[in-house]
Amino acid sequence: MASKAAAAAVDFTRIYSSLGLSKETVAALQAFRKRHGDAQRIQTQYASQPTTVDLAHYRSVLKNKAVVDEAEKILRDFKPVTYDVNAQIKAIETFEAKAVVKAKETTEKIDIELKDLQATLANIEDARPFEDLTAEEVGNAHPRIVEAVENMIKKGKWTVPGYKEKFGDLSLM
Amino acid sequence: MSFLGLRKWPTPVAKPLWPFIAAGTITYFLVAKAQDMGVKSEAYAKDPRNPYAAQIAKESHH
Amino acid sequence: MPQLIPFYFINQLSFSFLTLLALIYIISKYFLPLFTFQQVIRMYITKLNNK
């Protein structure tokens, strides 16, 4: 399963440091990883232990052979309860596939967002200070102002009410 | 149409200027009359710089 | 004074009218509206700033 490989190849340190996740998410991720590591360790530990019982040894040591026979019988009859893990595995796999798809979608979304942010950043960096704005640029940014001025001039209104009070003028009269 | 890179604005020209244009026309005719009178007057009729000298001479012969 | 020689009255008047008309036209169509435009934009920007 390719997605599984992709998911397995997750570089956790990079996730912790570079994605800027919240503290809770990082903690949850770390806990999950620890649990997984513990389970793996315990599994290997138990797998290395022997699973057979040396009955001949008990037979030679113990005097009560009947007990040993009974034990052998019980042991032979014992069958480990088999759990049907296939269903669970299947559920996990579908969940995993879904998660991978979701993750891919999220990365795409984040990529788009990043591009947007970069454009905004470039805009901000290229922007000149407020004092350097020209009337033409403001007019280009807000064509409605130009329209308003055109209407004013058509009607012969050349002054803006309140302008003189605010900025004064240079006329001596 | 732009002029020196400046955009054109819809300023009304004929409407506020019509009295001045009318006055200008009247002035034009009055000045034309004054010129005519001056050209034909005693002081300038025989002036050698007068471009209308030939015309005036022709008219006075009639 | 050459201006007072009557032969050229109409010439002077024609050129002065033509020049004045051209100046009035160009200034009122291209230059004076810019002052109004600037005032409107100054008001607009300061209003934005005060908000």
Looking at chain B, which residue has its C-alpha nearest residue C17? B24
Does some domain include residue A153? yes
Neighbours of chain C (3+ CB pairs under 8 A): A, B
Q: Is residue B11 part of a domain?
A: no
Cβ distance of C36 and A148 shorter than 8 Å? no
State which residues form the domain around A145: 133-159
Amino acid identity of B23? A
In a domain, A144, yes or no: yes
Measure CB to CB from residue C10 to each of B3, B7, B35 and give the nearest one. Answer: B35
Q: Does residue C21 contact residue B58 with C-beta atoms inside 8 Å?
A: no
Interface confidence (ipTM) of the complex = 0.72
**Chain C residues inside the 8 Å CB shell of B6:** 30-31, 34
- Does A149 fall in a domain? yes
Answer whether A154 sits within 8 Å of B16, measured CB to CB. Answer: no
Q: Which residues pair with B3 in a beta bridge?
A: B6
A151 assigned to some structural domain: yes
pLDDT, position A1: 43
Residue C49, phi-psi category: left (phi > 0), alpha (psi -120 to 50), beta (remainder): alpha
Q: Can you give the pTM of this predicted structure?
A: 0.53
Per-residue CA distances from A106 to A5, A95, A101 (Å): 19, 16, 9
Predicted confidence at residue C6, as pLDDT, reads: 84
Residue A137 lies in a domain: yes
Contact C40, A149 (CB under 8 A): yes
Q: Is residue A38 part of a domain?
A: no
Q: Is residue A146 part of a domain?
A: yes
Q: Do A166 and C32 touch (CB under 8 A)?
A: no
Q: Measured between CB atoms, does B5 come within 8 Å of chain A? A: no
In a domain, A106, yes or no: no
Say how many domains are in chain B. 1
* Per-10-residue mean pLDDT, chain B, length 62: 82 92 95 90 81 79 70
* B52 part of a folded domain: yes
Judge whether A161 is closer than 8 Å to chain B, CB to CB. Answer: no
Chain C residues touching B15 at Cβ < 8 A: none
B2 within domain boundaries: no
| Residue count (chain A) | 173
Tokens of A51: 């699973």
Looking at the structure of chain A, the number of domains it has is 1
Is the pLDDT at A10 greater than 70? The verdict is: no
* CB-CB neighbors (< 8 A) of A149 in chain C: 33, 36-37, 40
Please tell me chain B's helix, strand, coil percentages from 3-state DSSP, rounded to the nearest 5: 65, 5, 30
Which residue range forms the structural domain that includes residue B54? 20-60
Q: Dihedral angle at the C-alpha atoms of A18, A20, A25, A27, nearest 10 degrees?
A: 60
Mean pLDDT in residue range A155-159: 90
Whole-angstrom CA distances from C49 to A158, C2, C9, C22, C43 are 24, 60, 58, 40, 10
Q: How many CA atoms lie within 13 A of B42 on its CB side?
A: 0
Distance from CA of C42 to the nearest CA of A (A): 8
Cα Rg, chain A, nearest whole Å: 38
